[in-house]
Amino acid sequence: MGNFKKMILGEEMPDKDDPKYKEKYEKDVEAGRKFAQITKIDKGVGYIQRFALRHRNLFLVIVFGFVISCLAFNIYNMVKAYNAQQEHKTATERQEEMLREIKEKSYEIKP
């Protein structure tokens, strides 16, 4: 029950000066740095940082352009979904319609 409660409610936040917390924090930071070095994320972020410092306005245009285009794409999809609303049919109604169509085809006279 203790683990389940800890999962739902979370752990208590220790004091800033707690040695256990400091050791855990340093261990987690070191693991994050090691992961970033192995996956080369740190170098990629460094290149982006250098580009952003050299070309401030272009970087801002790229970032905000990406954000605005994502927002516009989401609005477009919402409008498209709203306009595409059709008559809501239950699964039973759709099955009855399909059976009716199959029955009508079976009664047709074939030459």
For 7-60, what is each residue's pLDDT tens digit? 777 777 767 677 778 888 888 889 999 999 999 999 999 999 999 999 999 999
Whether residue 105 has pLDDT greater than 90 = no
pLDDT of residue 89: 79
What 3 state SS string does the chain have?
CHHHHHHHHCCCCCCCCCHHHHHHHHHHHHHHHHHHHHCCHHHHHHHHHHHHHHCHHHHHHHHHHHHHHHHHHHHHHHHHHHHCCCCCCCHHHHHHHHHHHHHHHHHCCCC
**What local confidence, expressed as pLDDT, does residue 109 receive?**
67
